Amino acid sequence: MRRPTRARRAVRGAARRTAGAAQHRALARRGNGARRAHHRALVGAAEGRRLNRDFRGRDYPTNVLTFVYSAARGGALEGDIVLCAPVIAREARAQGVARRARYAHLAVHGALHLQGYDHERGRDAARMEARERSILARLGFGDPYGRRAA
């Protein structure tokens, strides 16, 4: 059994303190049978700020944090997705979208980070946003970026 990393311990602790088992659960299998081990946690603003500060050096709560623990081997995904409830609620109000839609977008966004997607460079951001729009459309949600998919 591998020893938990500092980030993994922090996320698991945050989940136990703020979200409980209902929001912090392993997702079992993808459609192709490959295993994935990632957890989701809902946290408050203080916990979101602490995690963002400790692991990204940014002293404010952010909407979603993704912690990747291992490279994908044989299709396996291992990591955590942390969603900051008050930030997401505030963003949903400001954008005039349903909270459910904002949560869906950020859950997809975090899952894509686990799969290696990034948005630091323009071309990578466009690729990731296109994938987000495609997934969200299949789930019945509108374009989170307010543009029509090309």
The model's pLDDT over 9-53, given as tens digits with 9 standing for 90+, comes to 666 555 444 433 333 333 333 334 444 556 778 999 999 999 999
β-strand partners of 81: 40, 66
Using DSSP's 3-state secondary structure scheme, residue 142 falls into coil
Q: State residue 8's pLDDT score.
A: 62
Q: State residue 146's pLDDT score.
A: 85
Amino acid type, 4:
P
Q: State residue 115's pLDDT score.
A: 87
Domains of the chain (ranges; CATH) run 6-138 (3.40.390.30)
Using DSSP's 3-state secondary structure scheme, residue 28 falls into coil
pLDDT under 70: residue ranges of the chain: 1-38, 71-76, 147-150
- The overall longest dimension of the chain from CA atoms, in Å, is 46
Alpha-carbon dihedral sign for residues 102, 52, 134, 122: positive
User: Which has the closest alpha carbon to 82: 3, 30, 7?
Assistant: 7
Q: State residue 39's pLDDT score.
A: 74
User: Which has the closest alpha carbon to 60: 40, 90, 35?
Assistant: 90
Please measure the distance between the N-terminal and C-terminal CA atoms of the chain and give it in whole angstroms. 46
**In the predicted model, what is the mean pLDDT of the chain?**
79
